[in-house]
């Protein structure tokens, strides 16, 4: 089943976009957590971001070693940073 942005609630969309912007989160980790491959992720980012933000994101991500497991020498497959959720998130 092809996943689209309509299949996700607001919190999931936000997390997908956040992970896509993070330098050290590989696209494969996003796919593992949300079932969204890189082409679907591009579609999501294109539909959810302003055009300028989307272009900046695409330029940054193209060929970036940390975003593609095949290009990573260490092969880390984590989908989050262990210090990422230390703040209260509005609680």
Q: How is the chain split into domains, by residue range?
A: 5-71
> How is residue 8 annotated by DSSP?
S
Q: Confirm if 44 and 5 have CB atoms less than 8 A apart.
A: yes
pLDDT digits (tens, 9 = 90+) for 11-23: 999 999 999 998 7
Nearest CA-CA partner of 26 in 62, 60, 65, 68: 68
**Which pTM was predicted?**
0.67
Q: How far is 12 from 18, CA to CA, in rounded Å?
A: 10
38-87 tens-digit pLDDT: 889 999 999 999 999 999 999 888 766 656 555 555 545 555 555 555 54
Dmax over CA atoms of the chain, in Å, equals 38
Question: For the chain, what is the radius of gyration of the CA atoms?
Answer: 13
């Amino acid at each position: 089943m092809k996943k689209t942005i309509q299949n996700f609630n607001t919190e999931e969309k936000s997390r997908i976009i956040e992970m896509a912007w993070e330098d050290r989160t590989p696209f494969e980790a996003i796919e593992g957590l949300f079932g969204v491959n890189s082409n679907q992720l591009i579609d999501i980012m294109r539909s959810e971001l302003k055009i300028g933000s989307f272009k900046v994101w695409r330029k940054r991500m193209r060929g970036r070693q940390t975003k593609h497991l095949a290009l990573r020498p260490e092969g880390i497959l984590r989908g989050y940073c262990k210090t990422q959720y230390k703040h209260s998130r509005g609680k």
